[in-house]
Every structure is written in structure tokens, then in C-alpha cells.
Amino acid sequence: MTSNEELHDHFVKLYGIEPEVRITCPGRVNLIGEHIDYHDYGVFPMAIDASTVILAAKNSTQNIVFSNFDPKYDSWESPIPCGWNGSSSPKWFDYLLCGWKGILDFQGNHEQFGISFLLFGTIPPSSGLSSSSSLVCASALSTLALIVDGDPFEHISRENFAHLCAKSEPLIGTLSGGMDQAAEVLASEGTALRIDFNPLRSKNIQLPDDAVFVVVHSNTELNKGATSHYNERVIEGRIVSQLLKKRLSINSPSFRLKDIQKLSGKSFEEILEIVETLPEEATKDQVIELIGDDKLEECLTENTRKFTEFKLRPRARHVFSEAHRVELFEKACEEKNIREMGRLMNESHRSCALDYECSCRELDEICSLYLKNGALGARLTGAGWGGCAVVLMAADDVEKVADLPSLFVSKPAQGIRVHRF
Ligand code: ADP
Ligand code: NG1
């Protein structure tokens, strides 16, 4: 394990200057509530010990310089002013630029200055534990901490900072929601979080003492920025929202399904009945027939205009049923009913696999393996299509899976923090 001293010495050797700040930002594991944050539905993650650390200082070279402790990532450098405004095939440093740009814009287009960053990360990348957002948030806080004195969170609330990071990350092309940045910024050690959006707010949730969460890697990865799966799901959800607005005579510019449900006044059971009457799938031409060219256009973005086929009914079924499961999971957690928590996690995985089609063979197999060996619940975590599963074990049963492959047993960790040298 690399120590803070080693990182400090590496920074000094690399740049010939002293670091001014060290930022530590955790990853997160989502216990339940998958692919619903971009519809503004509440989610249930916790921060994890694996983290991104950035050592940062202003430099006098008039350059932005990003280096990585891991030699597999090449250093990147740009003179200032740097006009970076996003990337469609993101490299590791693009995530840092998202956070950097977010803060300069927030500070009223703050004048650029030379910076040297050294990054050290222990979150397995492209595995659903949100390494990308950890890079974005750590970079944003590094930049802010170099601009202001004292505690950066005296200059911006944690909620506004998380929101700013969530708005900045889509510059790499993924139409992501705000769960990850919120979990990584707002977490308190020892408790999971119930996060709600618009406006962003979080509640600390004590997990039952006899619940143990194990994070397991499926040995497959998916880089969201390099594929279109994630954005396809976002656009399919937006089309569903247009269909529901038309069906229920709702007049609203929003295409977040939580808003549509709220405006409809329907319960989860009622809206799920309506969902069963939606088309299973549709081509672009069929969607235009159903909602009109203009309404489809409202849903699309520059890099999603090429999509031609959309699944609708199963995607909607997943979003509304998953949002409902988050409510039930929170209740089960309050009642310390870990069997019910496990049941809901299993239902969530089935819904992700069958209706949202965001699982894969390896994730399904790892979940089945743990369930056969006494787990109460097992489900993919994060975007899916590879990466990690999260497994719920009763504390008394943990021995039963001691010989199975696992990454770590997860305890709720602290959110992003800053240290000044
Ligand atoms: P995740 O689910 O981990 O957020 P993403 O596919 O969204 O997965 O983002 C993963 C990307 O983040 C990697 O391809 C890489 O560019 C970047 N990344 C993550 N961790 C590191 C790291 N330690 N060093 C450099 N880049 C990293
Ligand atoms: P991961 O796979 O951990 O990056 C992604 C999104 C979340 C959320 C989940 C699915 C980003 C930065 N994060 O998480 O907002 O939608 O998928 O629940 O894209």
C-alpha cells in the first residue's frame, strides 16, 4: 500500500515543488436503486474505503500538468489558457478536466493558473464503484482548495459542490445522474445514504448490525464513456416519459420519470399498470409516429441522435419498480429486516438483468454462486454490463462464503476530505 509520505515524496521528485493540498475522495457501492438517479428517483449507496487521492499545487510554469502514480497512465500537459470543453472518447485526464472546469466556471470563469496534480487511485476502474466520479470530485476540490483559503466547504455547501460535480461529469459524454458525486461528497463514516434529487438532499441511514455487504468483482469491465449502452437507456427513458405525458395529458417540459409520476398523481402500482400498455419496443420511425418528430428531438442529444431502435415497456417497468424497491428497502432497513433487504436486492438484480438488460453472464453467475452459498441477496452495482456485484450476508453466515472470490467487505466510509500541508 502506498503511504501518504511516499506520495508526497513522489510529488516533490516529479515537480520540484511542495504539494499544497491532499484531497481524498472515496468510491461508492450502490446497495439498491440502479439506473433511476437520472430520473430523479431516490437511491441508496454508501461510500467505500477505496479512494482517489490527489496531491496538488499551483506552479509557476503556466501549464496544467496531470500525472498518475500508476505508470500505465501517461502524464498530460496543456499550456494555459486551456480551452478544453469536453471529450467524446474520454481518457483518464478528461475526468480531471471536468472537475477543474466545473470549479473555474463556478468561480465566475476564474482566471486560469498553472497547476500540478499527482493522482493515486485504488478504486477498481470501470467496475461500477464510480472511480470516474471520484476523479471528477477530487479534481474539483483540488482546484477549489488552491483558489480559496481554509475549508473549501465554507465557500460552497457540500450539496452544491456535489451538484456542480454531477453537472460537470457529463462533459465526457455520458448522460449520467447525480448519485455518485452525491454519495462521494455527502457520506459520513459509519452510515449508508438515502439520496434524493432536485433539490439534492441526503439522509444518513444506519445499516442493521447483522448485515454484511461483500463486494465481488465479476472479472469483466465496462468503460461507460467508450460504449453507448448507458446513453441508450437514458434516451429510452426520455421517450417513455413523452409517451406517458401524451397518454396522461401531462403538460411539462420534464422527461424525468419521477416528475411524470408525480404530475400524474399515480401510485407505483397504478403507473406500473399503465406501463404494461406501452409498446414493447419501437424503431425511430415508429417513435416519431407515436409522439411526433419534435418530441423525439427534445429527447436526443448530439451524440445520441444516431440511435434507431428503442426498448420501451421493459425499461419503464424497471425504473418504476426499482424506485419502489428503494422505498421498501429503506423501510426494511429501518425495521432491521435483512431477509426482506436481501429479497429486494434479488428482485433488483432480476429487473436489471431482464428488463433493463444491464447485466452480463459473469455478473449473473457471481450472484447465483453467492446465493447458492447462503447469501440473502446479490445484485450488480453501478451501471452494470460488467464490474461488481454487491452481496448481502447475515453476519453469522459470512464464514460460508470465506472461500469464494471477493474484493472486500464494505463498511460505510467518509466522504471527500481535504488536508492542507
Ligand atoms: P466507473 O464505474 O469506475 O466510474 P467509468 O467507465 O465511468 O467506470 O470510468 C472509468 C474511467 O475512469 C477509466 O477508464 C479511467 O479513464 C478513469 N479512471 C478510473 N480510475 C483511475 C485511476 N486510478 N487513474 C486514472 N484513471 C482512472
Ligand atoms: P457507475 O457505473 O458506477 O459509474 C453509473 C452512473 C450513475 C448511475 C449508475 C446506475 C456515472 C458517473 N454514474 O454509475 O449516475 O446512473 O450508473 O445506477 O455515469
pLDDT given at position 264? 98
Q: Is 67 in the pocket of ligand 1 (CB under 6 A)?
A: no
CA distance 383 to 176: 10
**Ligand 1, atom 23, residue with closest C-alpha:** 121
pLDDT, tens only, 65-123:
999 999 999 999 999 999 999 998 899 999 999 999 999 999 898 899 999 999 999 99
pLDDT given at position 312? 98
For 142, residues 6+ apart whose C-beta sits below 8 A from its C-beta are: 21, 23, 54, 56, 99, 115, 117
With a Cβ cut-off of 6 Å, ligand 2 is lined by 30, 34-35, 37-38, 128, 130, 132-133, 169, 174, 176-177, 179-180, 224, 382-383
Rg over alpha carbons for the chain, rounded to the nearest Å, is: 22
Cell of 150: 481554509
Nearest atom in ligand 1 to the alpha carbon of residue 130 is 4
Among candidate residues 37, 40, 94, 180, the one labeled active-site is: 180
The verdict on whether 180 is a catalytic residue reads yes
Q: Counting Cβ atoms within 10 Å, is residue 394 exposed (0-12), middle (13-18) or buried (19+)?
A: middle
- Report how far ligand 2's centroid is from the alpha carbon of 23 (Å): 22
Q: Is 95 in the pocket of ligand 1 (CB under 6 A)?
A: yes
Q: Residue 188 carries which side chain, given as an amino acid letter?
A: S
Q: Is 125 in the pocket of ligand 1 (CB under 6 A)?
A: yes
Q: Residue ranges of the chain with pLDDT lower than 70?
A: 1
For 200, residues 6+ apart whose C-beta sits below 8 A from its C-beta are: 159, 162, 163, 178, 182
Name the 3-class secondary structure at 394: strand
pLDDT given at position 1? 64
For 353, residues 6+ apart whose C-beta sits below 8 A from its C-beta are: 359, 363, 364, 380
Q: Long-range contacts for 335-339 (Cβ within 8 Å, ≥24 apart)?
A: 336/208, 336/209, 336/210, 338/208, 338/210, 338/211, 338/376, 338/392, 338/394, 339/376
Using the structure block, give the residue that is written with the C-alpha cell 447465483.
368
- Report how far ligand 1's centroid is from the alpha carbon of 125 (Å): 4
Measured CA to CA in angstroms, residue 132 lies from 135, 156, 207, 314 at distances of 5, 22, 26, 28
| Residues 70 and 32 sit within 8 Å (Cβ to Cβ) | no
CA distance 139 to 72: 19
| Residues 165 and 177 sit within 8 Å (Cβ to Cβ) | no
- Report how far ligand 2's centroid is from the alpha carbon of 8 (Å): 31
CA distance 242 to 315: 14
- Report how far ligand 2's centroid is from the alpha carbon of 197 (Å): 15
Residue 77: strand pairing partners: 65
Residue 22: strand pairing partners: 55, 419
CA distance 186 to 184: 6
Which domains occur in the chain, in start order?
A: 4-207+413-420 (3.30.230.10)
pTM of the full structure: 0.97
Nearest atom in ligand 2 to the alpha carbon of residue 129 is 3
pLDDT, tens only, 304-344:
999 999 999 999 999 999 999 999 999 999 999 999 999 99
CA distance 42 to 195: 5
pLDDT given at position 409? 94
